[in-house]
Structure 1
């Protein structure tokens, strides 16, 4: 007897799922196409375009080394995440790179009323857990620290009209008298500038987005005062140690200082970098 093949029954739900699947594939392909187009454009620009990188117009006016002096006024690859639901011996070299950070655990569990088997109605027990790690970044925030110190006097001496001693509670001196800066804010500005390569005009914009209006000139004053008043203690000690070495390496770099007492803006200045040989 001749066998006849049965035509599979295609439902509307099946067609809708297939349509959604094709739309998702199309979106992924379009994303890949745009990525390749962007890589091609960058390659063409690198090969035939201008060799100089476009720079913010404000940044063109700022020198890498003397930005603070110009503005001052006389005032990655993600770490591997391993998820396991049972104990096992980890292979060598797979130690998580997240161990150095604090961990906040969020536990998700069923309410007691839902811990009932849908099949037989018996109670459910915890069989295992599923773990997922994610990185949370806490943005920098601005906080006002108001220093208030108490001043004390003697009531008895006041009543008897005796010389009244006034006692004031001790309070730490400000890092920059007459300024809103603190040790943390001054160190933050310096680190952003010289470690993270953030010019002062960008830091000014960053503080503005945080709701704090502070000019780049003020930030420059903080940096100069901090360098002259506090970091000089460290640099003087480093210089003393440097001069005790037998061999030094030096590098001379020319730069232009726009505002230098007794010298015109066109005068060529120099920046010298010294370092020792290998210690040991």
Structure 2
């Protein structure tokens, strides 16, 4: 009997031991997951945001463009290498760009140059430039007063005092006033130049209106934030929104559209709490176009139907990240983002630098580096040539990456598991760029376009109303498009606001 009890006790202890081991394994996995999250959060708050391989890995573990078995051997024989033809850009010097500016000449002379040897008066025989310095003149304000003149014909007489008794003289009297000008915003002292400056400061330089109010007050100009806000909303509604509508039409006529979205908080919106998170969507055309178009579109939610409504009628290539909401958009060819897929593996790199070089995440990043290396060599080619070279050079690397990825067995909630799952889920869309030489390999264009908005959000923090968010979307669209096309944005805005409201002056036509 005692032996039977002993056997039962041994079995019970073995079961408990197995259960405890299983529990420890689960806890270790959860701990590793929490540590990964903590490391990621610390990096977001305190670390560098760069994803360059030269920064994310130590010098001793730099990612090679070639796998170990394919590293080219050093040879003593010189080899002929063909590189794409290009023109070397001449480096600009200070003198080059300074010559285009106004000059102020400061002459340094002696009042009475006298020879120290004989006392004779010395004569000027030459001059030379000592140095140039760039001078900043603070902004100046002045009042532009509009005076309207009235004219009278001296031959037609004067208007009599008693109209009833001198009806014939009234008909002869001819008094005319010059055409009365209309202010751009009725009842205000706003000028095109002032409004352009206010909008440029907020939407291009991320200076919120309350800071502009303080700056103007320091110059003895009592211009309130509420007044500027009303002007900005009027400009967006009457001048900018009609232009954005035309930009939207032109965008949908193209072959490639990039899409992305970011958060925005709107305090007062019907049916939503002030703490609810809304979305600012951004759409832009491909970089292969002669003119750039960037459009911001405010929507309360991140639902895919918002993108579907905006892209209605578009049947080209849609470049986006792996957000499932984009699958609602039909009638387009979905393209994945190689940078987004790579970022997942960058975030999965081990915290321990000594373990990075041999990690799965580092090997994945190496594959992406090889793909981008080949893709960058094709940047100066035509779309047709790029299409051919992609199939010959880039596709084999992409095939090798996914063949390697599918052999991995990674499970759990780890960052590496998420990276592998994301890449495999996006696999068919990461191949789409191979179909057309004009389709980019990633969605960097949209991510770069949305970055100034994210920077500005840290300063102005929220929009007060949904209409204000829509106005901001229109103004960001105009400013971002003007900048993308290399225009002097403030000068363009001044020209736009000098035109009648509703004028379609596209930010790539002046």
The TM tier, using the shorter chain, reads 0.5 to 0.7
Unaligned runs of 5+ in 2: 1-41, 47-90, 161-167, 291-510
Deviation at 1:123, TM superposition (A): 3.0
CA distance in 2 between partners of 1:199 and 1:188 (Å): 12
CA distance in 1 between partners of 2:182 and 2:190 (Å): 12
Does structure 2 conserve the Cα–Cα contact (< 8 Å) formed by 1:254 and 1:270?
yes
Deviation at 1:268, TM superposition (A): 4.0
1:245 is matched with which residue?
254
SS in 2 for 1:126: coil
TM-score scaled by structure 2?
A: 0.35
SS in 1 for 2:211: helix
1:179 is matched with which residue?
188
Q: Over residues 48-89 of structure 1, what are the superposed CA-to-partner deviations in whole Å (9 max), with x where a residue is unaligned?
A: 9x937xxxxxxxxxxxxxxxxxxxxxxxxxxxxxxxxxxxxx
* Pair 1:110-2:116 in alignment: no
* Pair 1:120-2:118 in alignment: yes
Deviation at 1:183, TM superposition (A): 0.2
Deviation at 1:236, TM superposition (A): 2.2
Does structure 2 conserve the Cα–Cα contact (< 8 Å) formed by 1:141 and 1:210?
no
Deviation at 1:232, TM superposition (A): 2.3
SS in 2 for 1:250: strand
2:284 is matched with which residue?
275
For residues 44-55 of structure 1, the aligned pairs below 5 Å read: 51=45
For residues 1-280 of structure 1, the aligned pairs below 5 Å read: 51=45, 94=93, 96=95, 97-111=97-111, 114-130=112-128, 131-154=130-153, 156-159=157-160, 161-163=169-171, 164-261=173-270, 263-277=272-286, 278-279=288-289
Please list every run of at least 4 consecutive aligned residues from structure 1 whose deviation after the TM superposition is greater than 6 angstroms: none
Does structure 2 conserve the Cα–Cα contact (< 8 Å) formed by 1:149 and 1:171?
yes
Unaligned runs of 5+ in 1: 1-47, 53-91
CA distance in 2 between partners of 1:249 and 1:153 (Å): 62
Structure having greater relative contact order (Cα 8 Å, sep ≥ 6): 2
CA distance in 1 between partners of 2:192 and 2:199 (Å): 11
Q: Over residues 165-206 of structure 1, what are the superposed CA-to-partner deviations in whole Å (9 max), with x where a residue is unaligned?
A: 442212442111111111000000000001111111110010
Q: Over residues 113-141 of structure 1, what are the superposed CA-to-partner deviations in whole Å (9 max), with x where a residue is unaligned?
A: x2321211223122443423222111012
Deviation at 1:267, TM superposition (A): 4.5
Q: Which moved more, 1:187-196 or 1:259-268?
A: 259-268
SS in 2 for 1:51: helix
Q: Over residues 218-275 of structure 1, what are the superposed CA-to-partner deviations in whole Å (9 max), with x where a residue is unaligned?
A: 1111111111111223222211211211221111223221123565434443221110
Deviation at 1:153, TM superposition (A): 3.8
Q: Judging changes above 3 Å, is the alpha-carbon distance between structure 1 residues 261 and 161 closer, same or farther for their aligned structure 2 residues?
A: farther
CA distance in 2 between partners of 1:150 and 1:172 (Å): 11
Instruction: Provide the alpha-carbon RMSD of the alignment.
Output: 2.8
Q: Over residues 123-164 of structure 1, what are the superposed CA-to-partner deviations in whole Å (9 max), with x where a residue is unaligned?
A: 312244342322211101221111111123446041563234
CA distance in 2 between partners of 1:148 and 1:260 (Å): 44
Q: Judging changes above 3 Å, is the alpha-carbon distance between structure 1 residues 165 and 237 closer, same or farther for their aligned structure 2 residues?
A: farther
CA distance in 1 between partners of 2:282 and 2:101 (Å): 36
Does structure 2 conserve the Cα–Cα contact (< 8 Å) formed by 1:256 and 1:266?
yes
